[in-house]
Amino acid sequence: MKKSLALALALAAAPFAASAGEPSYTYVEGGYAKLHIDEDDLDSPEADGGFVRGSVALGDSFHLIGGISRVGEDYRFLGERIDVDVTQYELGVGYHLAMGERVSFTADLAYLRYDLDTDVQGYGEFDEQATGGRLGVGIRGQFNDQFEGWVKANYYDGGDFEDETVTGVVGAHYKFHPTWGLMAEIEHGEVAEVESTKYLVGVRASF
């Protein structure tokens, strides 16, 4: 009986053991997104929405990345209702290099597009777009078989991003199943001349 129980536990733990120290670069995740604008003149507005993004491994060192997020909110300004929606699209390629059993260096280069849709009551709709590039460099570490974290610096430039800006990113992923896990991420800094903080909380499926 004891041998059977030990064998069952070993088989149940096998998927986690196989992935220990080797975080997957093929996954899809999605969930809740929140954007906080650090602008006192506008009373530091916030917007809520959702996001979907993913990664596909290309061999041992490279991976494709892509995603979309959309947040929006209604405001009152000088007695008028203003409906603002911000959509971000991202597509790029990433590189990862093991620095130890549980730590990897990561870098990614991506094309970004922002769509700003504004509907002002009594004045109509106004649409704007901004495009540019992002270079991200960071560290991804596996603390144990279920928990990993990452820190990264994002550099934004090119296209409509007239001034080079840098943001900081910190995130975590808790794997409660060989496939499924919970993730959270915070990015803070200046993007497209706007000081902001972006929060992501969602579910990840790793393959």
Who wins on pLDDT, 75 or 70? 70
What mean pLDDT is predicted for residues 70-99? Answer: 90
Concatenated DSSP letters for the chain?
Answer: -HHHHHHHHHHHHHHHHHHTT---S-EEEEEEEEEEE--GGGT--EEEEEEEEEEEEETTTEEEEEEEEEEEEEEEETTEEEEEEEEEEEEEEEEEEESSSSEEEEEEEEEEEEEEEEEETTTEEEEEEEEEEEEEEEEEEE-SSSEEEEEEEEEEEETTEEEEEEEEEEEEEEESSSSEEEEEEEEEEEETTEEEEEEEEEEEEE-
CATH no. of 2-206 = 2.40.160.20
Give the pLDDT band (50/70/90) at residue 97. Answer: very high
* Per-residue pLDDT, 23: 86
Domain ranges of the chain: 2-206
Tens of pLDDT, residues 13-65: 444 444 445 689 999 999 999 999 887 665 678 999 999 999 999 999 999 99
Tens of pLDDT, residues 102-159: 999 999 999 999 999 988 877 778 889 999 999 999 999 999 999 999 999 999 998 8
* Per-residue pLDDT, 40: 63
